[in-house]
Amino acid sequence: MLQLPHQPLQVAAVPPQRSPAREDQAGPWHSEAVCRRDEAGLFFAPSKEPTAARLAREEAAKRVCARCPVMVDCREHALLQPEPYGVWGGLTAAERRVVLARRRRREVELRKAATAGDRIAAAG
């Protein structure tokens, strides 16, 4: 793990609400989120944050996410919105972009396969 000099961690202001646009039937998942308690500053980058500090902060945020009971709900929220900043559901914005790109490719492949299957069924 990357060790940084002992300096106070500067964090950006956290957006006023880390909640989804809608709530599911079982109630708001975000009310159980560990990050809502006391570590929310870890999840968003301060302006002009050095790379080493950003990586260390993101790893610390991911450790919080790893013990969160609603991590999967949070991740799906961030992927569906899509949230452009911060660590959500244990993924950084860049990691979420990769997941979304993979999902889009998978959807295209499934559509191609379905179209090919329809053609075979029509020909048979």
Indicate the annotated binding residues for [4Fe-4S] cluster.
35, 65, 68, 74
Contact at 8 Å (CB) between 61 and 87? yes
| Residue list, annotated binding site | 35, 65, 68, 74
Residues pairing with 88 in the sheet: 91
